[in-house]
Amino acid sequence: MYVATLLTNPAAPALDPALVDSLRNAWGGGDAIWLAPDVAAEFSLTELPSNQWDVWDSLQAQAVDLVIQPAENRRKKMLLADMDSTMIQQECIDELADEAGVGARVKDITARAMNGELDFEGALKERVGLLAGLPVEVIDHVLATRITHMPGGKTLIATMKANGAFAGLVSGGFTMFTAKVAAELGFDENRANTLLAEDGKLTGEVGLPILGRDAKIQALNEITARLGIAPKDVIAVGDGANDLGMLGLAGTGVALHAKPSVQAECQIRVNHGDLTALLYIQGYTQADFV
């Protein structure tokens, strides 16, 4: 058995019941269950539709996301999330680069690295090198004035934790950012890279080993082993090429507002919903939200 979930942006709810019923009838699905009025609905399927991706493509033009997944074990025991452009709306290193006066150069490298065009480790070292001499206190300024949470993040974590799940934040960014974001959103654990500093200024170097794609896989394996659960019990979310390993290993891997090359390798793509989409995908209703 499978479940098809249709959802849209909660800030502009426009999921048409007629659209849900039309698709359900075309695919011979079960009764529609509304998870949130005008925002998310689901129905059961006995088999995968052959035209799934054609329908997905047409629904994108209507600002509707479509997710089809096995019905079994879709409510997860652990969330593993990327930070930059996933749990927050910015790329931290790009914001620091703006403060250092090298914003345009760093943003170009970031975009290419996240799309898989550049080696992540080399790209990170190059970008951090451009921050040499930046006062450490600029990080607190950036956190206070430039960093905003992705909508739905706090609700996602609170709801999953209220239902017994563990929440981990694993980032190719920096501990000075993940520590604060994790505390604000309610994560149980956070992992990231370390920016090195001397005499109150960034040295332009990052602590080794660098946390990249393989380290995110390692985090998933280590945390699940410690908790006594399996990778199939994890829902992972990210947007960049360095997230693909953990997205592929997790039972449910969600490409959230992801780069094209990342979407191309993921079965679950959310382009219009916010982070509460990860709750609807698991079968939570709006009434279940914490």
Q: Which residues are the active-site residues? A: 82, 84
Rounded to 5 degrees, what angle do the CA atoms 268, 270, 274 make? Answer: 140
90 touches 145 (CB < 8 A): no
- Tell the residue number behind the tokens 């849209």, with chain if given: 8
Number of continuous H segments (helices) and E segments (strands) in the chain: 12, 12
Contacts of 116 by beta carbon, 8 Å cutoff, 6+ apart: 241, 244, 259, 261, 262
Contacts of 27 by beta carbon, 8 Å cutoff, 6+ apart: 4, 45, 49
Residue 289 token pair: 């939200």
Judged by DSSP in three states, 178 sits in: helix
Judged by DSSP in three states, 198 sits in: strand
Backbone angles phi, psi at 3, to 5 degrees: -125, 130
At position 178, the amino acid (one-letter code) is T
H or E, element range at 79: strand 78-81
Strand (E) positions, 125-259? 166-174, 189-193, 195-198, 201-206, 234-238, 252-256
Distance, CA of 264 to CA of 269 (rounded, Å): 9
Question: Could you say which DSSP state residue 243 is in?
Answer: G
- Tell the residue number behind the tokens 């996240």, with chain if given: 114
